Amino acid sequence: MADGAGRMTTAGDGQALLALRDVSKRFAVGRGLSRGSRWLTAVDGVTLDIVRGETFAVVGETGCGKSTLARLMVRLTPVTSGSVLIGGRDVTHEHRRALRPLRRDMQLIFQDSFSSLNPRHTVGAIIAEPFRIHGLVPRAERRANVERLMELVGLSAASYDRYPRDFSGGQRQRISIARAIAVRPKLLVCDEPVSALDVSIQAQILNLLLDLRRELGLSYVFISHDLAVVRQIADRVAVMYLGRLVEVAPAQQIFGSPHHPYTAALLSATPVPDPEIARHSRRVVLQGDPPSPASPPSGCSFHPRCPRAAERCATERPQLTDDGAGGLVACHFPLAPGESLEHRAGADAAGSAGPDRPNLPISSADEGGQ
């Protein structure tokens, strides 16, 4: 699905499976009398479209709002402002009952498969639950349907009558996936689906998601903190920082030539399982911690940690704008292709930052991929 450039966050032609328009979510912080006196903006003015058949990844660190965004997408949490469109229809203010048929089209998978599966129900009953809720499959046919689903996700149909505790983490994630695809959704929103798994199992689940995408024509929203995992599966990537999208671009561009300094820094900080690259690449280590969303910095919220920050960044918030290369970036001083992150954009004239200085430990071997 990597048809490259041109795909903006807003397709605007009703083609989008799911669209968010300037969506924000605020939570009241504090307790008792002070409740409501302070607000935490978890998601701040996010606009994006999920196109049919694509895998759209949302990447960011703890507290950036990516999980809240996932919940807003499937209307598990109501938005504070902005609108949510499913198949072009504004469902922001739809009631639960009206949402139910639409919910079938969008399913959510969580990181922790243990707490999302009822320990007292058999695997068969868990996977059959959506059939019951949505009245989809006659009772007599449920078992056969569930067994087919179990085999589709790589579980033995013989374990139909076993309980979640009898399964390993990877197998439980397969159960969650089987339950999610039981209603033949169009979109799966996966919130850190492989983060709790060992690497050998992680690869199995990623391969399963890829197979299902091909076989069932699914689209994915893939929420993750791990860029290396995202690189394996995403067509487009949105990078989030403190509730806002800071860069949205085709995967190839994000991993090959990121424009936002934060994206570049995340890539640089991701450990590479190759001693030669790990030891000989220049690493840009961001100082400090991500700020609290309860008291975001002025201007660009990344500016206190940004190696390129200039005065303007502290006062003026950059808007997400066309980066001229098929993506969107919210930065006053975006990186040019091949430009090193250590280079201060404001501090010196262009030209000295030659394109012969690759800033990241990324070989060009990932281009194309086949």
Partner 1 sequence: MVNTPLLQVKDLRIAFRTGAGPVTVVDGVDFSIDEGETLGIVGESGSGKSVTCLSILGLLENAQVSGEILLRGENLLALDRAGLRAVRGASIGMVFQDPLASLNPYHRIGWQLVEAIQAHGRTSRRAARARALELLGQVGIPHPAQRLDDWPHQFSGGMRQRVMIAMALANHPALLIGDEPTTALDVSVQAQILELLARLQDELGIAVILVTHNLGIVAQIADRVMVMYAGRVVESGSIWDIFRESAHPYTWGLLSSVPSLTGPVLLSDGEARLRSIRGLPPNPTAMPSGCRFHPRCGFVMDVCRTDVPQLESADRPGHRAACHLPPERRTAARLEATVSGDG
**In the complex, which residues of this chain contact partner 1 (CB under 8 A)?**
1-2, 61-62, 168-171, 198-204, 206-207, 210-211, 213-214, 225-229, 231-233, 255, 265-275, 277-279, 283, 285-287, 289-290, 305, 361-363, 365-366, 369-370
Cα within 13 Å of Cα(225), Cβ side: 10
- CA dist 282 → 64, 138, 274, 357 (Å): 26, 60, 14, 11
CA 43 – CA 30 distance, rounded (Å): 18
Minimal distance, residue 248 CB to partner 1, in Å: 19
> Which residues touch 365 (CB under 8 Å, ≥6 apart)?
none
Closer Cβ to partner 1, 84 or 267, answer by number? 267
Minimal distance, residue 26 CB to partner 1, in Å: 23
Cα within 13 Å of Cα(167), Cβ side: 27
E strand residue ranges, 199-342: 219-224, 236-241, 244-250, 321-322, 328-329
Backbone phi, psi, residue 111, to 5°: -65, -45
Give the strand order in the sheet containing 236-241.
Answer: 106-109, 187-191, 219-224, 55-59, 236-241, 244-250, 328-329, 321-322
